[in-house]
Amino acid sequence: MNKYTIIFVSLLSFTLTVYGNNDLAHTAISLVPRPSQLAPGNGDYVFSAQTVFAVENKEQAEVANELIGQFTRSARFTPGLKVGGKKGDIRFVTDASLKDEAYSLNVSSNEILIKAADCRGFFYALQTIRQLLPPAIENSNVTDEDVDWKIPAVAITDEPRFSYRGLMLDVARFFMPKENLLRIIDCMAMLKINKLHFHLTDDNGWRIEIKKYPRLTEIGAWRADRTDVPFPLRRNARPGEPTPIGGFYTQEDIKEIVAYAAKHQIEVIPEIEMPAHCTAALASYPQFACPVVNKFISVLPGMGEDNGGMVFCAGNDSVFTFFRDVIDEVAALFPSRYIHLGGDEAAKAYWKKCPLCQARIKKEHLAHEEELQSYFMNRVAGYVRSKGKEIIGWDELTNSKLPEGAIICGWRGFGQAALKAAAQGHLFIMTPARVMYLIRYQGPQWFEPQTYFGNITLKDVYEYEPIQQDWKPEYASLLMGIQASMWTEFCDKPSDVEYQLFPRLAALAEVAWVQPEQKDWPLFLKALDNYTAHLEKKRVIFARSMYNIQHTVTPEKGVLRVRLECIRPDVEIRYTVDGSEPTETSMLYTHPLTVKDSRTINCATFGAGRQLGKTLALPVKWNKATAKPILGDKPNERVLTNGIRGSRKHTDFEWCGWPENDSVTFTIDLQKEEKMKAVTIGCITNYGMSIHKPGSVSITVSNDNEHFVSAKEINFTPEEIFREGSYVDDLLINLEEEVSARYVRVTTKGAGCCPAQHVHPGQNTRFYFDEIIIE
């Protein structure tokens, strides 16, 4: 779980880092990613109908036409274009001494000179110009806006840190319509991101037309409608149930997407998952499952209940024929050098039971099912290589013998498993789930739409440094770059995806492009504001979570300390303690507040005289346990007596969970003898995540912290524990009689495993409490 480590700094106390002649700090020039070198000039260059682009050849003309087209759409003029001539206002000049993707850009009031070694460099120079232009350049129609089509004079030289700057987009769990996808590609290009890892197949949908296997998209692209409940709660389809949810890209669509991406200097890398994450394919062609699978296979609307863990049969040769055929069509559609073969999270239960898989293990002299996966991946990888392509795979490929030349995407935890591949000389890409999985919450969870796990804020992405000090030097040279991964379990419409992507994708771009010593958080935010102004004109949805306040309320010697933090240092936090709405004249937050009684703190961020983030209302409710210590002072347990209730998200930092989940004991020290009649425990149920009430809670009390006597024990029935939904329950424990004691001990036993009819049968339950209320 990521911790906020943000220090609030007022608007006036910025310290801006200025280095070399890169004097971004004192100009209105705001670019993301930040260029390597930048020197502001005098005056502006003004674009008009008289502006002429002079390019050397047809390829450069195509690049120039991208920006010219934007003027045609948004301004009342179209700049001219001359191919082959030297005369013009915006001149492209090839400079073979520059590196791949690098460019130099010299803007003066009468001309613009761009140098690059290749079209990629010219394209990125124009993306820089695009960001320097007024955001109205993104308009799709000419408007009545009075726009000065000018950019400031400046000299820029620029080149990327990494050659692989990627976004993985999961279009299997949520099918992204083509038009929306193209718009995202354009927004990636503005950030100089150059790889789209296209996750086309998974349990929840097969999204690419394969002519030889039409059922993949007739059946595999469609699933039952469960949009009324969150992904983890979704039940499987029944046989014969309509399957209205989904979609797929025809081969013509794929060609259009690839061509559009190529114009934006983006390589589209297709991912075809194997041997797992394949339920959509198996729903279409059940003969490719192990013959021991004897239940109805449907495209999964959610996690699959007892149908999770499906795999292709590794003992059936027709499975490998299927993959050869699929790879033939995929390789012909995607010009990329790479095909991603997945390889993650392959459960081995069916392979263990399957006679064909076991026969394969014997015949190939494999030690176990993990080696069978290696056999599977190597066999398909060999075919991919025979077609002149290279393979990429998830980091589980390092569990056994790696396919020759395989490039590894490090994803689990901080992606460390990829280093096992690096140690064997393999190239790798970092997309660690702990920092680069944009499915996670991007801000204080009280304000965020439901998703999974903990927080990855804009700042967390921005601060990511892939190259670690303890790496062997050769690892750094094998690191191709980094990638953000956007899994779409919780997305039901394109704007849900955009909200999770933006603005964090801009932070990814900054990490991927800019040298670490040149990063500067306040300057990045300023540039980001300019980028999001462009997004706004394109009507792309982006989150404003970076303006919201994260609270931390901690018991401390009988009072509560309330910290309010915002990841943006250029805002003020204003608050009230009398229940009124905060305004720009409310009290300014400068240091943690002390609270000694029940009251509501309302707070919000402000800047330039207006409210920027959402209002956070923090009702503190005092009881006999509030602000009292829990013996042992474990950090996770501090929230239990902090007077603040949790939201309906168990990862919002107000809920306490325990690793030793089956049995937990903690003792509250009330500091003096107190009379009490009841103990109430705030408890959350999130059925889809197997978070349930405990099986039992017992309360014992003591005056000396040695001899405890029972005050009450309560037990919950399976019906009470496994009631479906997502809700907060108060477990009211009326004591047998009023007691007087200083120490109150809570002992909780877990509820064991989820029962057979549960959406996750057999999975261990967990319990979470937010507050202990003693009255």
Nearer to ligand ACM, 305 or 344 (CB): 344
> Can you tell me the distance from the alpha carbon of 537 to that of 614, in angstroms, rounded to the nearest whole number?
23
754 binds, among Zn ion, ligand ACM, none (CB under 5 to 8 A by kind): none
> Can you tell me the distance from the alpha carbon of 527 to that of 430, in angstroms, rounded to the nearest whole number?
25
At its nearest, how many Å lie between ligand ACM and the CB of residue 395?
Answer: 8
At its nearest, how many Å lie between Zn ion and the CB of residue 253?
Answer: 33
344 lies in the binding site for ligand ACM (CB under 6 A): yes
Among 442, 471, 472, which residue's Cα sits nearest to residue 456?
442
At its nearest, how many Å lie between ligand ACM and the CB of residue 200?
Answer: 14
345 binds, among ligand ACM, Zn ion, none (CB under 5 to 8 A by kind): ligand ACM
729 binds, among ligand ACM, Zn ion, none (CB under 5 to 8 A by kind): none
Which one of the spans 79-87, 287-295, 433-441, 757-765 is the region binding Zn ion (CB under 5 A)? 287-295
Q: How far apart are the first and last CA of the chain?
A: 33
Q: Residues 221, 205: contact at Cβ < 8 Å?
A: yes
Active site residue 674: no
71 lies in the binding site for ligand ACM (CB under 6 A): no
CA angle (105 as vertex; 102, 110 as ends), nearest 5: 165
Nearer to Zn ion, 203 or 652 (CB): 203
Nearer to ligand ACM, 431 or 548 (CB): 431
394 lies in the binding site for ligand ACM (CB under 6 A): yes
The residues with which 681 forms a beta bridge, in sequence order, are 731, 772
Number of residues that bind Zn ion (CB under 5 A): 6
Instruction: Give the list of residues 6+ apart from residue 419 with CB closer than 8 angstroms, or none.
Output: 410, 428, 471, 475
> How many of the other CB atoms lie within 10 Å of CB of 207?
26
> Can you tell me the distance from the alpha carbon of 338 to that of 267, in angstroms, rounded to the nearest whole number?
9
Nearer to ligand ACM, 55 or 409 (CB): 409
Tokens 């969870």 belong to 445
Number of residues that bind ligand ACM (CB under 6 A): 4
At its nearest, how many Å lie between ligand ACM and the CB of residue 437?
Answer: 7
Nearer to ligand ACM, 106 or 483 (CB): 483
Task: Provide the 3-class DSSP secondary structure of residue 577.
Answer: coil
411 lies in the binding site for ligand ACM (CB under 6 A): yes
Nearer to ligand ACM, 206 or 411 (CB): 411
From 59, 345, 404, 474, active-site residue: 345
> Can you tell me the distance from the alpha carbon of 399 to that of 405, in angstroms, rounded to the nearest whole number?
16
Nearer to ligand ACM, 345 or 738 (CB): 345
Which one of the spans 268-276, 282-290, 294-302, 323-331 is the region binding Zn ion (CB under 5 A)? 282-290
629 binds, among ligand ACM, Zn ion, none (CB under 5 to 8 A by kind): none
At its nearest, how many Å lie between ligand ACM and the CB of residue 394?
Answer: 5
411 binds, among ligand ACM, Zn ion, none (CB under 5 to 8 A by kind): ligand ACM
Peptide bond into 270 cis (omega under 30): no
At its nearest, how many Å lie between ligand ACM and the CB of residue 90?
Answer: 43
Pairing of strands 696-702, 452-455: unpaired
Among 245, 248, 265, which residue's Cα sits nearest to residue 200?
248
Q: How many CA atoms lie within 13 A of 426 on its CB side?
A: 28
231 lies in the binding site for ligand ACM (CB under 6 A): no
**x/- binding map, residues 83-122, to ligand ACM, per CB under 6 A?**
----------------------------------------
Tokens 């997407």 belong to 257
> Can you tell me the distance from the alpha carbon of 333 to that of 387, in angstroms, rounded to the nearest whole number?
13
351 lies in the binding site for ligand ACM (CB under 6 A): no
At its nearest, how many Å lie between Zn ion and the CB of residue 296?
Answer: 18
> Can you tell me the distance from the alpha carbon of 122 to that of 366, in angstroms, rounded to the nearest whole number?
52
Q: Residues 274, 323: contact at Cβ < 8 Å?
A: yes
470 alpha carbon, distance to own chain's centre: 26
Q: Residues 319, 360: contact at Cβ < 8 Å?
A: no
Nearer to ligand ACM, 391 or 751 (CB): 391
Q: Residues 426, 408: contact at Cβ < 8 Å?
A: yes
Interaction residues for Zn ion, span 514-573 (CB under 5 A): none
Binder among 189, 208, 210, 313 for Zn ion (CB under 5 A) = 313
345 lies in the binding site for ligand ACM (CB under 6 A): yes
Peptide bond into 694 cis (omega under 30): no
315 lies in the binding site for Zn ion (CB under 5 A): yes
394 binds, among ligand ACM, Zn ion, none (CB under 5 to 8 A by kind): ligand ACM
Query: Please, what's the largest Cα pairwise distance for the chain?
Result: 96
290 lies in the binding site for Zn ion (CB under 5 A): yes
Nearer to Zn ion, 106 or 373 (CB): 373
At its nearest, how many Å lie between ligand ACM and the CB of residue 760?
Answer: 17
Among 175, 226, 177, 224, which residue's Cα sits nearest to residue 200?
175
> How many of the other CB atoms lie within 10 Å of CB of 43?
12
Residues lying near Zn ion in the complex (CB under 5 A): 290, 313, 315, 354, 356-357
Residue numbers annotated as active site:
345
Binding residues for ligand ACM, rule: CB under 6 A, are 344-345, 394, 411
